[in-house]
Amino acid sequence: MKILYKILLTTLALLTLSACADNKKYRIGVSQCSQDDWRKKMNDEIQREIMLHEDATVEIRSADDNSAKQIADLHYFVDNDFDIIIVSPNEAAALTPVIDDIYRKGIPVVVFDRNINSDSYTARIGVNDYDLGRSAAHYAINILGKSPTAIEIFGLPGSTPAEDRHVGFEEKFRANGGEILGSAPGNWNQDTAEHVADSMLRLHPDVDLIFAHNDRMAIGASEVAKRLGRDSIRIIGIDAAPLIGIQAVADGVIDATFLYPTEGYRLIQTALAILKGEHYDRETVIPASSAVDSTNSDILLLQNETLEAETDKMTLLKRQIDDYWDQHSSQTILFYACIVILVLLCGFIFLLLRTFWTHRRHQSTLLMQNRLLEEERDKQKELNARLEEATQSKLAFFTNVSHDLRTPLTLIAEPVEQLSSASNLTEQQHKMMKIADKNVKILYRLINQILDFRKYENGKLELHLTEIDIRKSVEDWMESFRQIARKRDMRLTFEDSAPSGPLAIAVDAEKLERIFFNLVSNAFKYTRDNGTITVSLSEKNGNVVLKVADTGEGISERDLDRIFDRFYQVDRVKPRGSGIGLSLVKAFVELHGGEISVESEINKGSVFIVTLPMRHVSSTVESVEKSIESSDVVAELDTIEDAEVKFEDDKPLLLVIDDNRDIREMIRELMQKDYNVITASNGAEGIRRATKYVPDLIICDVMMPGMDGMECCRRLKGEVSTSHIPVLMLTACSLDEQRAEGYDSGADGYLSKPFSSQVLRSRCTSLINNRRLIKELWTNPAESVHTVNKVVSEEKKKISVTSSEVDNAFYSRFLEIFNEEMGNADLSVDSVAAKMGLERTQFYRKIKSLTNYSPVELMRRLRLKKARQLITGTEKNISEIGYEVGFSTPAYFTKCYRESYGETPSETRSKMQ
């Protein structure tokens, strides 16, 4: 039902949207500077024209001759996202900056009637007010005769129509002998014009004509003239609005008025042309029209009445049509909705029937499945019980084995410790014993942790509470870490914000010490040299808060919630612990009734927070003896010092890549008698060192953080400078799948941990010897790469590895470059190496490893082989051949040829004849 209801609502919404999708309308804003009958006529024309355009609406606002109000009207149009603005500026100076700003925002602007002081508009429509003024002057001269006098009442100062009408009237009137006795502003309204006319008529008793810039001011002047008994004065106005100007002429109030075209329809047509991207005229100037006087006023009034009646009819008809279309749209939507509802109803009935049938069919199936699930549940319970029993048996076995390991480990630990400090050992033996001693202590502590954690799980781990001064104990425990901190240039600090004096608390001192050791030793393991570790102690709400903060690697959010889980390891590729240390810490803290939490951020560090309740079992504070000494800390956290590496020219170079420093040092000690050994702590560093030194053999661990051994081997085999180097992989996992992946990556051999030193030496020797067999295939440098590949194929029965495609491509490129430059006696190893894209050292080691010749020796042999071909196959003289193959002098060519072939070039040629 819910789905059908949603479908119905969605369908109705789509129908409504489809009905409204095509009704997008343009919004046109019209800003009139004032309200009068002329502008009312224009507004009627605008409304009449907009009825013919379904895709547009119009809103008209009047400023009432107030520039501030008109500016507010313009901002209203902008803020409400009108598509175009039509404006008749009240004052050019005040409105110009506002219109400029609107135009710069990209909103089209049409200026009409009055102008602005810039060209920041899309289009302008206006009457030629200058010609209108001249027409009024011409009419006055005709009705008054020669030398008439006049006074002028103009519009608002600063209004462009007033200025243009004044200039046109004055020029024409004076040019025909007329005299303007005075001019004053009437501000376009009748009241102001009456005051102005009264003052000017009293000042100028002999006046023939009053010229007013609109009909309202003309009517005001007429009433003043009649009141003063000056009925002989002729009065002319402008606008010819039907209900005021033309009616005043018909009633004899004024003598004439000049038609000021409204052109409202033209404004709407121009605005829509702009919005639709159609052609329009940017400047439209409407010419001045003729005068309206007593001869034609009645006709014009009759025409206006007829026009208004027709307009009313059109408005009524438009309203009826709109109502009809609204009804049609509603009925269409209702029709489609009924169809959809009918279809959905049929579908609903079908779904009900189908659901009923399906329900009956599934009911029997569910009953059968329930029976099966109940049987499966019983089996699962039985299996879980067996699994729990097996798990407990395994844990018990593991615990027993751990107990059994403590005895042989104790017997191993003491002799190893004594031997590591013996004075009669060689330097190599001493270093190997230090490695053994360090790892024996780590293994011993791990076994103890496993046994303690097993006790905790079985509820047999007990607390032995004593009253101690925790501040003094923490300071004593920190001293055990001072030596390793100084050695690694790390800053180990203690911050104490607890109240002064002894900070007594009842705890199991031995377990609290192990909590402290685990947290601080972890901080050292995961913090780089020169980092900072801060131990802080405070008292809060009846609890002691111990914090251990470091600036180490940090812990990701994914691992934060699980680091206290049993056997959980953050680094799954190469873990640096057993995953039990933090679990045991949490167990010890909870035994004390406390809590432990962690805050961490990747690459910024971690903060472990231990909160212990302050309880007391005695009023006397007991002293605490340390069970973990500085030697124990150094044994676990210190690293074996690197031995000073001295290269011997007659030994092959071995690169060892392993993130465990002890493994690297052990292999160095085992192999340094027969090899020059260099090391790298990770895959990326190993690639850099292999590229720089080009060793003869690489031993690489499989599991390393970051770039693992597989990827490291793959990249080494893909580089031109290192592709020929045999790679022996070390792994703690002997799965065939992992070995196959390693061979796919280009590995030349595998060795499982733990390994025998004898086996390691044998595998390394075998790989070096196999590589030497391959070198012998390159000793005939005159052969083409195709011939070399053929020889390699024939030798597959004799050796276990063959030259790679990368090596063939490298040697082919070398031959190509050398053959092009063979005749250049100044050709150097450096120039060839640069063209090969290698450094001189890398190029030297690569050529040496492939051919057993240095680059200089190889190029000399290539030249001599080419020379021997030319001597036996051409008629060129010996000197020409020497120069052609790149020897600087014939004598040096003869000397080198004799050393290589045991005879001179001339003797070789004489044998062929």
* pLDDT tens column, 62-75: 998 889 999 999 99
Query: Rounded distance, CA 545 to CA 95, Å?
Result: 73
Does 743 lie in the same domain as 831? no
| Sheet strands (E) in 497-604 | 504-507, 532-540, 543-550, 595-601
Is pLDDT at 888 greater than 60 in this prediction?
yes
**How many domains does the chain divide into?**
4
Does 729 lie in the same domain as 615? no
Structural domain containing residue 631: 463-637
Cβ density class 310-326: b for 16+ within 10 Å, e for less: eeeeeeeeeeeeeeeee
pLDDT band at 404 (very low <50, low <70, confident <90, very high): low
Query: Rounded distance, CA 11 to CA 636, Å?
Result: 73
Element housing 491 (H / E)? strand 491-496
Does 629 lie in the same domain as 500? yes
Which domain-ending residue is among 775, 799, 829? 775
Render 335-382 in DSSP notation, one character per residue. Answer: HHHHHHHHHHHHHHHHHHHHHHHHHHHHHHHHHHHHHHHHHHHHHHHH
What is the Cα 680 distance to its own chain's centre? Answer: 35
Instruction: Tell me which residue of 221, 129, 145 sits closest to 178, measured CA to CA.
Output: 145
Assigned domain for 824 exists:
yes
Higher pLDDT, 12 or 219: 219
Query: Rounded distance, CA 446 to CA 261, Å?
Result: 105
Which domain-ending residue is among 729, 758, 775? 775
Does 501 lie in the same domain as 596? yes
Assigned domain for 211 exists:
yes
pLDDT band at 481 (very low <50, low <70, confident <90, very high): confident
User: The CATH number of the domain where 680 resides is what?
Assistant: 3.40.50.2300
Instruction: Tell me which residue of 181, 122, 172, 187 sits closest to 288, measured CA to CA.
Output: 172
Does 474 lie in the same domain as 611? yes
Does 223 lie in the same domain as 138? yes
User: The CATH number of the domain where 843 resides is what?
Assistant: 1.10.10.60
Assigned domain for 174 exists:
yes
Does 572 lie in the same domain as 554? yes
Assigned domain for 261 exists:
no
Higher pLDDT, 232 or 310: 232
pLDDT band at 394 (very low <50, low <70, confident <90, very high): low
Average pLDDT over residues 371-400: 77
Which pTM was predicted?
0.39
Check residue 271 and give its pLDDT: 93
pLDDT band at 781 (very low <50, low <70, confident <90, very high): very low
List % helix, strand, coil for the chain (3-state, nearest 5). Answer: 55, 15, 30
Average pLDDT over residues 568-586: 57
**What is the percent of the chain with per-residue pLDDT over 70, rounded to a whole number?**
82
Does 493 lie in the same domain as 617? yes
Does 594 lie in the same domain as 538? yes
Query: Rounded distance, CA 889 to CA 882, Å?
Result: 7
**Do 905 and 894 touch, CB atoms closer than 8 A?**
yes
Assigned domain for 124 exists:
no
Average pLDDT over residues 30-43: 86
Query: Rounded distance, CA 579 to CA 554, Å?
Result: 16
pLDDT band at 635 (very low <50, low <70, confident <90, very high): low
Check residue 402 and give its pLDDT: 62
User: The CATH number of the domain where 610 resides is what?
Assistant: 3.30.565.10
Assigned domain for 391 exists:
no
Instruction: Tell me which residue of 282, 298, 262 sits closest to 48, measured CA to CA.
Output: 262
Does 613 lie in the same domain as 552? yes
Helices marked H in 421-494: 427-457, 470-479, 482-487
Is pLDDT at 881 greater than 90 in this prediction?
no
Which domain-ending residue is among 760, 775, 790? 775
Check residue 272 and give its pLDDT: 92
Assigned domain for 474 exists:
yes
**Do 484 and 526 touch, CB atoms closer than 8 A?**
no
- Sequence-distant (≥ 6) Cβ neighbours of residue 378 within 8 angstroms: none
Strands 532-540 and 504-507, how do they pair? unpaired
Does 765 lie in the same domain as 633? no
Assigned domain for 622 exists:
yes
DSSP 8-state class, residue 414: H
Check residue 396 and give its pLDDT: 66
Which residues face 434 on adjacent strands?
none
pLDDT band at 409 (very low <50, low <70, confident <90, very high): low
Instruction: Tell me which residue of 90, 124, 91, 86 sits closest to 102, measured CA to CA.
Output: 86
Is pLDDT at 123 greater than 90 in this prediction?
yes
Does 609 lie in the same domain as 677? no
Please tell me whether residue 604 adopts helix, strand or coil conformation: coil
